[in-house]
Amino acid sequence: MAESSFILEYIFSIYAFCLVIYISFLSKKEYSLPVFSSSTNNYSQIILIFTPISLIFLDNVAYVSLSCCFLKDYFSTFFQVLVLFCSLLTIIASKKYLSLRYCFQSEYDFLIMLAILGLLLLCTTSNLLIVYLAIELQSLVFYTLTSFQNNSEFSGEAGLKYFILGSFSSGFLLFGFSQIYLFTSSWSFENIQRLTYIFNDVPPFFWGILLLSVALFFKQGAAPFHLWLCDVYEGSMLSVTMFFVLVPKSAIFCLITKLFFITLSFYYNFWSNLCFFCGFSSILIGNISALYQKKLKRLIAFSAITHTGFILLAFCCFSIISIKSFSFYFIMYIMMNAALFCVIITSFYKQDFLKYLINWSNLSKRNIIITLIFSIILFSTAGIPPLSGFYSKFLVFISLLQQNWIIVTALLTLISCVGCYFYIRLIKTFFFMNKNNNIWMSLKKEPTEIILSSSFLFISFYLVFPNTVILLTEFLSLSIL
């Protein structure tokens, strides 16, 4: 096994070990400071900036291990870069936020690096046992990150709820793997793919696929397995919520694509129905539930459920254009949410998070530029033409129409139009409500403003040069099929 094939994993393992040494022996003075040291944040940013270079110069992009446990190709490499990019955005945006919340930066960075290690393994693995170990590694980190704020009862409650429900999800995942292993006697994706045609009429094998799908849909927060998502998003710190929204979805969707489109492609009719049911339910429940929300984090949670539903509907079409629409949708989803969270993190009054929608009233009189950017991002997220969010949903509708699902596409269009209301309601709060004057915008240049401007420029860049992103998604769709 070539050492250069896992240079990313080696880098993050060594850096996590160095953080353990630093936390254990070198950071005793850090605990007595009123605002804790954030020096490790700078090192984490350097690691996340320069590690993608190893994918170009040091790593072997096309690689299959001798034990068939790992498979590296352009598709998995792209999602590894996506994981690193989203993690970098989160680390940069969370630096000042953690100082305001009096949290320990070193422990936070250590947990983030462990989660990244598990997600990187999840993108490249081709073995069910490694999948389970990687998911458990990042899940244990997520439970800790959810309850990271010790002085908050909501954080502890959210962490406990996430841990209990996540344990059931892990049980479903392991039981589904055991059902598949019972008939194939193999953990390898390649061997399972070769043997799947034999078990066309074996009900226990379908139970294994069902339990596997339930566990993965739970990790993504798709309905009807979404009940944990809103409480976890609301109880977590804002930087942790940003991490949950951006980073884990990349690796999980990469895993779902390789499992469904390659390993279990023979059972397309079975898992596509599951994707359709969960996707349509997510869009319906997410849009309707978001109409009644009064808190910003819960609104973001139901918005994330809705976007997950659109991605699952793209999956159920099982075609090249479905991979193209899924990839494009996901890229735009990440950029829009990165800009959205940067606006929220920047908008602080002293140390208080503006958690209610009414707290964002009168924003246009405080900072008109931020208000306009925030409004355009919300319009794009809602799918208003000619913004990128509209085109991402349009690609999903095209993939559905190719399967002759005309009625479903018409219903989704109506539901999406209804769902635009809760985005427009927030924009109405910015400009036409004057019930609160607690909006405070920093006049100093902050790192979050760099992310905000970059994300907004990326969305604007798409309007001028759309072919760049489209060609990238076409290349990804051809590399996986």
Structure confidence by residue, pLDDT tens digits, 187-229:
888 888 888 777 666 677 788 889 999 999 999 989 888 888 9
Q: What is the pLDDT of residue 264?
A: 87
Q: Is the residue at 77 inside a domain?
A: no
Q: Is the residue at 159 inside a domain?
A: no
Q: What is the pLDDT of residue 52?
A: 62
Q: Is the residue at 57 inside a domain?
A: no
Point out the residues of the chain with pLDDT beneath 70.
1-6, 24-68, 101-102, 199-202, 348-353, 435-451, 460-466, 481
Contact 452, 336 (CB under 8 A): no
Q: Is the residue at 183 inside a domain?
A: no
Q: What is the pLDDT of residue 327?
A: 87
Say how many residues make up the chain: 481
The H or E element spanning position 293 is none
Contact 259, 189 (CB under 8 A): yes
Structural domains in the chain (count): 1
Q: What is the pLDDT of residue 40?
A: 59
| Paired strand residues for 127 | 188
The one-letter code for the residue type at 406 is I
Domain that includes residue 413, residue range? 329-481
Q: Is the residue at 441 inside a domain?
A: yes
The one-letter code for the residue type at 33 is L
Q: What is the pLDDT of residue 283?
A: 93
Strands of 83-177, DSSP E: none
Q: What is the pLDDT of residue 18?
A: 79
Q: What is the pLDDT of residue 37?
A: 45
Q: What is the pLDDT of residue 42?
A: 61
Q: What is the pLDDT of residue 305?
A: 93
Q: Is the residue at 368 inside a domain?
A: yes
- CA-closest candidate to residue 282, choices 116, 396, 200, 119: 396
Q: What is the pLDDT of residue 109?
A: 82
Q: Is the residue at 94 inside a domain?
A: no
The pair of three-digit structure tokens given for residue 115, joined into one six-digit string: 């989660």
Q: What is the pLDDT of residue 200?
A: 65
Q: Is the residue at 395 inside a domain?
A: yes
Q: What is the pLDDT of residue 215?
A: 92
Q: What is the pLDDT of residue 54?
A: 58
Burial per residue of 205-226, b for 16 or more beta-carbon CB atoms within 10 angstroms, e otherwise: bbebbbbbbbbbbbbbbbbebb
